Amino acid sequence: MSILVTGGTGFIGSHTSIELLKRGEDIVIVDNLSNSKIEMCDKIKMLSGKDFKFYKVDILDRENLEKVFKENEITEVIHFAGLKAVGESCEKPIEYYHNNVTGTLVLVDIMRKYNCKKIVFSSSATVYGDPASLPIKEDFPLSTTNPYGTTKLMIERILTDIQKSDNEWRVILLRYFNPIGAHESGEIGEEPNGIPNNLMPYINYVACGKLDHLNVYGNDYDTHDGTGVRDYIHVVDLALGHLKAVDKIRKMPGGTEAYNLGTGTGYSVLDIVKAFEKANNLKIKYEITSRRPGDIAACYADPTKAKEELGWVATRDLEQMCKDSWNYTKKYIK
Ligand code: NAD
Ligand code: UFG
């Protein structure tokens, strides 16, 4: 009996796979390596001290994905596989809808055929759009502003409808806030393709000299210092949230549940710059520039539901997130 981890060699999938293996779960990873490297498999084995099966398979490839279900007794699926760059999704909507939405449809169709009806899905705080108030609760209205976000919301709705049609399905939608940090070993972390879009990788690239300075996208938002506020969460805390979700999905009767995975604390861009400088004893050069189109002023979670129903809380603080990010960058990003 194994948990199938799609996208398991990616940033969040690799950290989650290590934690699953460490607690004795059998896992099978499927990834097409479009945004990760095969070497990650050895790192996962080294950091967990356990072995697992890996298939280089695209979830759109029905025949080969089905082989994974034929060759293994898959009891639950944690579904990370997907394309995730907001800007790119505006330029390539067809690729994003096809990969994320069609890929998920292929996956759930095979799951149904093999009578595997438990799925934990990687959703995002982006499904809340620009929230009317803060902190954000799971029952807030949902809306999106870009194709990437729309794929997440569409998949949430597809999974919810599948569950409604057949009460044997158990669906958990995990809405991640802003995952940062890296494994404490410094062996694995986030390695974006090209120039990073996200704040923490960008700061790391400035720190190691790959980029000259950080552009702070606006200081005229209605926040404590005018810069954008987000709920940053350590990727290992996020990974541990998936273990709790697996526990829950094994116990729950049929149904769909959404959970915010965030800390509940919002930090501004300048808070992050200062925390990174202090944690790592470095200076980060920055310039204030205009707002980035599509950005919202502030976004942070109310994580109470995850605490009460999953027994999960984030425990790693911002200093740890900044230290672990830099620890990985200085070792591996050249
Ligand atoms: P990632 O790109 O590091 O990992 C995704 C993995 O999926 C990659 O290894 C990639 O090769 C694989 N993949 C993509 N399409 C595939 C396909 N068709 N078939 C097989 N494998 C495929 O991204 P991540 O940051 O680890 O994110 C994991 C999930 O969490 C994604 O679904 C993402 O949308 C979601 N998410 C991420 C964030 C974030 O800020 N990192 C926030 C909210 C939600
Ligand atoms: N920012 C800068 N300069 C940069 C990059 C970011 O000032 O070079 C600012 C942004 O304006 C924002 C904050 O830093 O105020 C965070 O930006 P990120 O790009 O790191 O993260 P976002 O909140 O915009 O979006 C991320 C993912 C989305 C996901 C969302 C919620 O990119 O896919 O978190 O999980 F949906």
Mark 235-263 as b/e (b = at least 16 C-beta within 10 Å): bbbbbbbbbbbbebbeeeeeebbbbbbbb
- Whether residue 286 has its Cβ less than 6 Å from ligand 2: no
- Whether residue 34 has its Cβ less than 6 Å from ligand 1: yes
Q: Which ligand is nearest to the CA of 177?
A: 2
306 pLDDT exceeds 90?
yes
pLDDT digits (tens, 9 = 90+) for 200-253: 999 999 999 999 999 999 999 999 999 999 999 999 999 999 999 999 999 999
**pTM, to two decimals:** 0.98
| 194 confidence band (pLDDT: 50, 70, 90) | confident
> Is 148 one of the annotated active-site residues of the chain?
yes
What pLDDT sits at residue 107? 99
Q: What is the rounded average pLDDT for all residues in the chain?
A: 97
Q: Which ligand is nearest to the CA of 217?
A: 2
Whether omega for the bond prior to residue 147 falls within 30 degrees of 0, making it cis, is no
Q: Looking at the CA of residue 84, tell me the nearest atom of ligand 2.
A: 33
What pLDDT sits at residue 54? 98
Other beta carbons within 10 Å of 210: 14
167 pLDDT exceeds 80?
yes
Taking residues 261-287, report their average pLDDT: 98
What pLDDT sits at residue 333? 85
Coil, strand, or helix at residue 40? helix
Among protein residues, the one with the nearest Cα to ligand 1's atom 43 is 124
49 pLDDT exceeds 90?
yes
d(CA 60, CA 57): 8
Q: Which of 96, 97, 128, 148 is catalytic?
A: 148
| 32 confidence band (pLDDT: 50, 70, 90) | very high
What pLDDT sits at residue 226? 98
Contact indicator for 197, 86 with CB cutoff of 8 Å: yes
Query: 226 C-alpha vs ligand 1 centroid, how far in Å?
Result: 31
What pLDDT sits at residue 192? 83
